[in-house]
Amino acid sequence: MSDQLIRAQIEAALSHPEAEDGLYFNNLIVVHEEEERPIVEGSEGDVLRVLESLIHQGRVSVEGEGDQRIYHLVRP
């Protein structure tokens, strides 16, 4: 899966109304039946790499640490 596609999926998931308060990493890659936001496809390593790139670019912010990290889309 290309980084461009993963990036677009991350941005779509984090901009969804269900992600208003941010999303844990697992909520990016696993979407439960009752949830409507898009899933982010790709290996965990690829998704994490693209997330780190988006954080470095200032497109995504992070709060918390370790398994408790919550990702937010930075709105222009």
Residue 75 is predicted with a pLDDT of 83
pLDDT of 38: 87
Return the pLDDT at 76.
Answer: 76
Six token digits for residue 15: 């901009």
Give the Cα separation of 25 and 19 in Å (integer).
12
Residue 7, pLDDT > 80, answer yes
Task: Give, in order, the Cα–Cα distances in Å from 62 to each of 28, 34, 50, 56, 72.
Answer: 14, 25, 14, 11, 6
User: What is the reported pTM?
Assistant: 0.90
Instruction: Domains for the chain: give ranges and CATH numbers.
Output: 3-73 (1.10.10.10)
Reduced to 3 states, what is the DSSP secondary structure of residue 25?
helix
- Per residue in 16-72, pLDDT (tens digit) is 998 999 999 998 888 888 878 888 999 999 999 999 999 999 999 999 998 899 999
